Amino acid sequence: MLRSSIARVISVSITSEFHKFSTLHSSATSPAEKFYSCVQQNGGNIEKALATVRAHLDSSCVSEVLTRCSTDQSLLGLRFFVWSGLQPSYRHSSYVYAKACEIFEIRRNPRVIRDVIESYGVEECLVSVKAVKVVLNLCKEAKLADEALWVLRKMPEFNLRADTAAYNIVIRLFCQKEDMDSAEKLMREMSEVGLYPDMITFVEMVKGFCNVGRLENAYQLIKLMRGHGCVPNVVVYSALLDGVCRNGNMDRTMELLTEMEKDGGACSPNVVTYTSVIQSLSNSGLTMEALGILDRMIAYGCTPNRVTVAALLEGLCKKGQLEEAYKLIDKVVSEGSVPNGDCYSSMVVSLMRYKFFDEAVMLFKRLLDFGLKPDSLASSLIIKELCTEGRVLDGLQFFDDIEKMGCLLSIDSDVYSVLLHRLCLHDHMIEAAKVMRMMFDKGVRLRTLYADDIVEHLKKCGDNELVSLLSERFR
């Protein structure tokens, strides 16, 4: 019977391997291989040659071609990248843009951006606005403001006219660079060439002015928007409000918030708006004022979320106002705004951050006793800190309780390694074996940082079985 079973397994294995071989053989010329061969064989205007390739284009295919071109064909690889980004059945994701920048080290070698555009001119290629935008998006990913501006200035040479979206990319880059003079100049230039700034333009400019502390310029932009027929909405107001908060001007913050509430409609403050104000007040130690904004928020009909509550708890714990923190939790839970498990998890994290460790442990225990599921961050922080404090069995008890609730998947994988390491160091070998087998079952890898220590300790204890298991499964 056993031989028969083994025979079946071997038979299935051989059939499976044969099937894999057949599949590999039949698809030996993969889409990436076809595109790469085309790039290799057509060193000139590769775009016409690429258009004749009949192969499926997707992100993995593009990444493979770029990788193969990266060693000595970076220019052609980038030409392929631009071409592939124009195909109707495929669109580059932000991940692929990031991958291209990484493969060709564009941030470290920005010259390749100019090389691509210049190569189109040398070969007298037809270039579309869409193609230029692919190059501009590479600049955006690599945060290359000067190169993006250079690309924008080259467009007329290809009989192309930049649109608002192209200007927005370059303006955003100069705002991120905190070169607001250049960004402002580009915005004025848009009007001179018959373009109109849109909501994206204004939001980026407002953020940029706020980041460099030029709040009056940001306020003027709000007025300018109306002149351009672009009605300010909650997004641009929130950007301005966030900047005013970060610059510590609380009087101006309250005036602006009142203005938003009064205008209503598209300018009505939302949960992000109120939370931004609450975070600023809490960070400044104005916790009672922050709680006042919470009341104002609820009265306006805007429901707080977990981020709002976490910001308030953070501020209250920082000032040691634990009683107020618990009252806050009771309030939001009774109103049904945020689940109590989320509230208490955030409270545990804040208590840990401000060194109220014993309080955090007691709260975490109560949370488990009431059958409330803690979140990943709270669970991981508590167990790791208990292990660090030498209370490894207490940490293991919490670990077991969380397992019974079916929440282990939410625990940071590092917790397993820390727990196993401390159990071994304190000679709790039965418990260590249990954690180790759980790691096997769940496919959790042992961190290299702890591996040598654990193996050494197991050898000293003469636990060859666990050493063997460890070597077999984790090495």
Average pLDDT, the chain: 87
89 Cβ contact list (under 8 Å, min separation 6): 57
Worst-scoring range by mean pLDDT, 6-20, 222-236, 309-323? 6-20
pLDDT at 45 over 80: no
Using an 8 Å Cβ cutoff, are 423 and 396 in contact?
yes
Question: Alpha helix (H) ranges present in 104-214?
Answer: 111-122, 129-142, 145-154, 164-176, 180-192, 199-211
pLDDT at 10 over 80: no
pLDDT at 310: 96
Per-residue pLDDT, averaged over 303-318, amounts to 95
Provide the pLDDT confidence category of residue 466 given band limits of 50, 70 and 90. Answer: low
Provide the pLDDT confidence category of residue 25 given band limits of 50, 70 and 90. Answer: very low
* More confident site: 45 or 74: 74
Per-residue pLDDT, averaged over 433-438, amounts to 86
105 backbone φψ class: left, alpha, beta (φ>0; ψ -120 to 50): left
* More confident site: 43 or 288: 288
pLDDT at 18: 37
Mark 140-172 as b/e (b = at least 16 C-beta within 10 Å): bbbbbbbbbbbbbebbeebebebeeebbbbbbb
Of 1-15, 118-132, 213-227, 455-469, the range with the highest mean pLDDT is 118-132
d(CA 429, CA 459): 12
Structure tokens at 460: 């000293």
Per-residue pLDDT, averaged over 250-279, amounts to 89
d(CA 203, CA 199): 6
Using an 8 Å Cβ cutoff, are 154 and 117 in contact?
yes
pLDDT at 382: 94
pLDDT at 6: 27
Provide the pLDDT confidence category of residue 94 given band limits of 50, 70 and 90. Answer: very high
pLDDT at 43: 62
pLDDT at 289: 93
pLDDT at 454: 79
**Would you mind telling me the total number of residues written for the chain in this entry?**
475
Per-residue pLDDT, averaged over 410-439, amounts to 86
Per-residue pLDDT, averaged over 169-194, amounts to 95
Provide the pLDDT confidence category of residue 223 given band limits of 50, 70 and 90. Answer: confident
pLDDT at 390 over 60: yes
d(CA 237, CA 227): 16
Task: Please state the pTM of the whole predicted model.
Answer: 0.74
d(CA 163, CA 194): 10
pLDDT at 143 over 80: yes
Q: Where are the domains of the chain?
A: 31-162, 412-475
Residue type, 195: L
d(CA 345, CA 375): 6
pLDDT at 72 over 90: no
Residue type, 228: H
| Residue carrying the six token digits 């499964």 | 473
Provide the pLDDT confidence category of residue 5 given band limits of 50, 70 and 90. Answer: very low
pLDDT at 15 over 60: no
pLDDT at 358 over 80: yes
Provide the pLDDT confidence category of residue 475 given band limits of 50, 70 and 90. Answer: low
d(CA 73, CA 77): 6
For the stretch 27-36, contacts whose Cβ atoms lie closer than 8 Å and that sit 24 or more positions apart, written own/partner, are 30/61, 30/64, 31/55, 31/56, 31/57, 31/58, 31/61, 32/60, 32/61, 32/64, 32/65, 32/68, 35/61, 35/65, 35/80, 35/84, 36/64, 36/65, 36/68, 36/69
* More confident site: 429 or 107: 107
pLDDT at 459: 74
Provide the pLDDT confidence category of residue 409 given band limits of 50, 70 and 90. Answer: low
Per-residue pLDDT, averaged over 199-218, amounts to 93
* 6 Cα distance to chain centroid: 48
Provide the pLDDT confidence category of residue 463 given band limits of 50, 70 and 90. Answer: low
pLDDT at 12: 36
